[in-house]
Structures are given as structure tokens and as C-alpha cells.
Structure 1
Amino acid sequence: MPLVFLEGPQGIRPDAKQKLMREVTDALSAAYHFPDVRIFVREYPAGDVAQDGVAGAEPIRPVCFLEVPELRDLDVRRTLVGRVQDAIATAYQGLANTDETLVMVNHYPLENVGFHGRLQSDDPQIVGLIEQLNR
């Protein structure tokens, strides 16, 4: 159920991209204990990214959006963000300004997520998993 949208520069090697996706999946799995982690990597040429109003002026600063269920434990969130940032820094070394990677954690309550034609708040198994996660 966790989704990741990673916006970064073009040029990451296929093996580095695969390692990045594995490490981010592992970080999300450790935090959420949920199956079905989906990662979408969006790559841009430098001229298509403006930072402070100027396109191509500096190495791209990656942005990562974590679209995830509610997670109250700040220590778990801190660990998750740190692991995701470390994976991005390793994968984009020399291609991006990874010192300024932004990770946005967007939490969704179960009543705002639909799957298999119903709200996740109507699925007792998912409700139980979220309650256990947030104890």
C-alpha cells in the first residue's frame, strides 16, 4: 500500500536504480510491515527543472513523496526518512545535489484510501494492521 514517487535527474545507472528501489522498499517494509510497496521513479533532464526560478542552473535536488498510511511513531518516521535519504544519496551520487533532498511524508487515513472497490477503513484486516502499527 505504501507508494513512492521519486523525482530526480536523468542518468542513474540501472543497477543503482534497482538497488535504490530495493533499499526504499526495505525501509518502508520495516516501518509499515505492509506488502505492495510501489515505487515510481521520474527522471528529468536538467533543463526541465527550475530551482529558484532558473532551469538547469545547478544539479537537481531530488524530491521524494511517500504516500503512506498514518504512522504516529516519530522515531519510526525519522528512521524511515533517514534510510530513504541515504538510498537516494547513494543512487544519485555525482548526478544530483543529494545534500538537499526533500522527503515529503503524506499520511492518509484509511477512510481516504480505496482499494478493490472499497475504502480501506472497511477492511478489518487493514484496520487491524494500522491499529497494531500505531499502538
Structure 2
Amino acid sequence: MIYGIGTDICDVRRIRASLARHGERFAQKILSDAEFATWQARSARWPERGVRFLATRFSAKEAFSKAIGLGLTMPMTWRSCEVGNLASGKPTIVLHGALKDWFDARALSAHVSVTDETDYAASFCVVESL
């Protein structure tokens, strides 16, 4: 049964401006440790790719927070929700800490899709109860 649905669209230009204003500190606030390492590697090779990576993660976490009905209130935090990829490349939600405990206690499962274009990143998330 569907527990919740969330969607988000993020202006990549806004993410770029936040990075210019706050530097790595902004990325560290939004990304998990694993995501941050990926962001650093992508940014080093091609800075714009790093911006898009951050924008898609921002968007996916917003969509997930809406799907679980918490928004960005505890136990949902930016860093406790990670957007990973399966070996196939399919994006997946990986949770940590209190958010993982909260999610598991409700026997929930999440499905996420992310995309980006020149100026926008968008995400869609469906959370279902098992």
C-alpha cells in the first residue's frame, strides 16, 4: 500500500549560487559522507557535474521527506538520508541513524527517480508500506 508520494524540482542555478556563496560547507550540510566523496570526485573532474549531482541529491531528499510526511523535521535530516545507486545504476534511498530506525519500525520501502536538465533537477519518490 502506498504510504506517501513526494516530488521536488530544484533550480540548479540556486544550488550553484549556494555553492559559490558557502563553498564546500553547503555540500557537507546536504550530503552524507559517501555522497560528499562522490561530489568531490565529480567536481574535481568537471565542476558543473558536481553542481548537478548536488542538485539531484537535494531534490531527491526533498521528495523523500515529503513522501514520508515529515518534511525536514526529526528524525529526517539531510545527512541521514542518502541517495545511492544500485549496480544497475538505479537510484536508491539509504537511511542512517534515527531516520532508519523510524522508517524500519513502520516497515516502509522507498522508490526514487531523479533527473536533471540544464537548469533544473527533479525527483519523484514513492514510499510504500510492506
Look at both structures and tell me which one has the larger radius of gyration over its CA atoms. Answer: 1
- TM-score, normalized by the shorter chain, greater than 0.5: no
Query: With structure 1 as the length reference, what TM-score do the two structures score?
Result: 0.29
